[in-house]
Amino acid sequence: MEVVLIDSGGANIGSVRYALERLGVNAQLSADAETITRAERVILPGVGAAGAGMARLRELGLVDVVRNLSQPLLGICLGMQLLFESSEENETACLGLVPGRVRKLAAGEGIRVPHMGWNALQPRRDDALLAGVDTGAQAYFVHSYAAPVSDDTIATATHGDPFSAVVRRGRCWGAQFHPERSGHVGARLLENFLSDRLA
């Protein structure tokens, strides 16, 4: 299977690539529109700020390329947030593939921002991406902003308030957590993304 990681400049690209290698997939890192469009699976990784992430996609001429993909697309961490219409972070207009606005997590007593560490996933509905991922399965998060729970949410996590941990709209999926750092749960999610069930 031809899998492309969009060269979005995120610090997690190397670890995502290695996680895919452990599953027997040699993913290509690319910013070439033709290569990305030709791939069977596309992954948009990302770490950092929404404004910088969108600026990078614009600089590479990839905003419309990503918006018009017809194959399965998975956004990871910031990559998931960029799938939404906008982010409060620097008032950033994003890709608009998933309705909604990403907002800063609310700090409170015992609730630190950024949210860093393991947290339980609570699936909300069946989806091929979450096959074999049980209620309460632990995933590793590092983020200060999150998407609200909506009809596109297929799993939540709670840090103060519930937020979207995994989303799906049409051919687009997003994981707020880092599958490449989430042990067997993350490996299962990536394996599901590569499976024929998503085709």
Question: Catalytic residue among 115, 143, 159, 178, which?
Answer: 178
Burial class, 74, CB count within 10 angstroms (exposed 0-12 / middle 13-18 / buried 19+): buried
Binning the chain into helix, strand and coil, the percentages to the nearest 5 are 30, 35, 35
184 is catalytic: no
Tokens of 57: 């996609």
Question: Catalytic residue among 77, 94, 172, 191, which?
Answer: 77
- CA-nearest of 186, 89, 96, 93 to 146 is 89
59 is catalytic: no
178 is catalytic: yes
Question: Catalytic residue among 143, 172, 180, 191, which?
Answer: 180
* Residue linked to tokens 């290569």: 35
Half-sphere exposure of 137 (CA within 13 A, CB side): 21
What positions carry a catalytic annotation?
77, 178, 180
